[in-house]
Structure 1
């Protein structure tokens, strides 16, 4: 039981930090005029939003599955969660590629 409680606390902390960190990035860029002027920061905000969706829509159900050691929500929702996981993770990867290409283009100019 103590291992299970430690796992729940750790996973909750990771999810909370992920949610707050991504919200902080989005708020910082939206509130600071200097940050809004930099085109690459729009990619960063979009990446933060995609990661925020992973934190809210995917991670909690994965954590519950890990704690219970089986899926408790039925087959249909399992497919929905898996699809969201693949979709949002792929979106994050593509955002990172766009940021890298944009920065490379900026350094080449």
Structure 2
């Protein structure tokens, strides 16, 4: 943790799972609170992209943003998040929002 302020990072959805792993482990080493990756229809699946980091890290929280039930059925969202959460031993996060994109939702 960086003092009393929590800092998270958002990684590009165009990064490979290996690149997310590398950057995520670096973020964990420097005390970053969470690593997020964006969800865009033209990019990799954010749940799958975070799996290597989920398995290799021990403290950092991780998750996809912004997942919308307009693009992915809520049951599939729940199953994917549950699987990611199992891989990272309870450190998975998610940001659910509307279909207007990451910036508008945040």
Structure with greater proportional strand content: 2
TM-score by length of 2: 0.29
TM-score by length of 1: 0.29
Structure with greater proportional helix content: 1
Higher RCO (C-alpha 8 Å, min separation 6): 1
